[in-house]
Amino acid sequence: MTTPLLEGKSRRELWSGPIIDCDVHANVPSLEALFPYQEEVWAQFARDRGWGGPTGVDIAYPAGAPTTARPEWRSEGSVPASDVAMLREHILEPWDVERAVLNCYYAVDSLRHPDWAAALARSVNDWVVAEWLDKDPRLVASMVVPARDPAAAVKEIERVGDHPRIVQVLMPVRSERLYGQRVFFPIYEAMTRRDLVMGLHWGGTPEGEPSTGGFPSWYAEEYAAETQSYGAQITSLIAEGVFQQFPDMRVAVLEGGFTWVPGWGWRMNAEWKGLRREIPWVDRPPMDIIRDHFRFSIAPIDAGPPQEMAKIIKWIGTEDILMFATDYPHMHNDDVGAFLELLPESMRRKVMADTARDLYRL
């Protein structure tokens, strides 16, 4: 099996062309690491309460779960993926990565205190710039925003969004409100004005149900049910007319899989034909909007039998929609080599680099 560990193969044996990894993670090692980038009032606020950081981080990826980090990428005494040296050793150098998109999901949105959430977002973004972007020119990054508070999110985009290596605004897939609703439009206006991508990523407010039918009992249920949240957000963005209001908006779906997209598309196209009088601003079949505005990372691949995966790729109907990702340091056990062999030759370079290069203007 060929995983992000490159077991048994060199990178060049697997793929000799350029590689852009659209989803690698930076984990905040401790709340104290953010204090140099935070106003003292908020650092003291946390100390007074004995607060160690947002709870959403452990809910999205429990520290001991196999999916949280591959055994080879764990280090006793430190948090996986918590410094740029680890990323170089584990991903950038063995994969000879041309560019990598760094995502630091820190569950900022799990805070209900509006000023504290905004302060935490500012410190995370400044930490990413200073401790990661300034230390390796191959990295570009997403910024985080306090998504519960659109006005504060816009203010943070205006503060950080013009940085030349900030390419994306990270929006966790689980939210109090669906992202198509108009309350979020100021975020999209600020985002698209700076040509930034919306990164729809695993995670989100711990109060929200991860499934459409209530709270699950087990992490395995929650992990598997998260695709329902991705489908709900994408449906909302399309049905509410976001892409008619913001025709230049681009969305990267990260850690959400993609094998469910054809089935979702067929259902949405059918319902749109029958019910489009209700949403007349949706001016073309939803699956066409997906192909125009959305791109999906291939981690997890959710690979089934090769012949079935080949059908799914064909059913998606475009060669320009998938992007390579290791999802470092998480473990999916995807067979990247076998997946590449399924792709038409004309699609391999697009998946490994060109689609991400185009999406993120790299």
Tally of domains in the chain: 1
- Residue 4 within a domain: no
- pLDDT for the residue 105: 87
- Residue 35 within a domain: yes
CA distances 42 to 31, 106, 127, Å, are 11, 16, 15
Dist CA 353 CA 22 (whole Å): 9
The secondary structure of 15-46 as a DSSP string is: --S--EEEEEE-----GGGGGGGS-HHHHHHH
Quick one: 344 exposed, middle or buried, by C-beta within 10 A (0-12, 13-18, 19+)?
exposed
- Which neighbouring-strand residues pair with 197? 168
pTM equals: 0.95
Q: Return the structure tokens found at 287.
A: 């699956």
Show the CA angle centred on residue 175, arms to residues 170 and 176, nearest 5°: 145
- Residue 86 within a domain: yes
- pLDDT for the residue 332: 84
- Residue 6 within a domain: no
For the chain, how many residues are written?
Answer: 362
Dist CA 241 CA 237 (whole Å): 7
Q: Which helix (H) or strand (E) holds 341?
A: helix 336-342
- pLDDT for the residue 62: 83
Q: Contact 113/39 with Cβ under 8 angstroms?
A: no
- For 141-200, write each residue's pLDDT tens digit: 999 999 999 999 999 999 999 999 999 999 999 998 999 999 999 999 999 999 999 999
* Cβ density class 196-213: b for 16+ within 10 Å, e for less: bbbbbbbbbbbebebbee
- Mean pLDDT over all residues of the chain? 92
Q: Return the CA Rg of the chain.
A: 20
- For 232-243, write each residue's pLDDT tens digit: 999 999 999 999
- Residue 152 within a domain: yes
Q: Contact 227/263 with Cβ under 8 angstroms?
A: no
User: Among 196, 305, 185, 193, which residue's Cα sits nearest to residue 245?
Assistant: 185
- Residue 228 within a domain: yes
- Which neighbouring-strand residues pair with 328? 24
Measured from the Cβ of residue 284, the count of other Cβ atoms closer than 10 Å reads: 13
- Residue 11 within a domain: no
- For 96-117, write each residue's pLDDT tens digit: 999 999 999 898 988 889 999 9
Dist CA 139 CA 130 (whole Å): 12
Show the CA angle centred on residue 124, arms to residues 225 and 126, nearest 5°: 145
Q: At 213, which CATH number?
A: 3.20.20.140
- Chain centroid to CA 127: 19
Residue-range definition of the domain harbouring residue 30: 16-360
Tell me the one-letter amino acid at 116: W
- pLDDT, mean of each 10-residue run, the chain (362 residues): 70 92 96 96 94 80 86 88 94 96 92 94 98 98 96 98 98 93 98 98 80 84 88 97 98 96 95 95 97 96 86 93 95 86 94 98 97
- pLDDT for the residue 2: 61
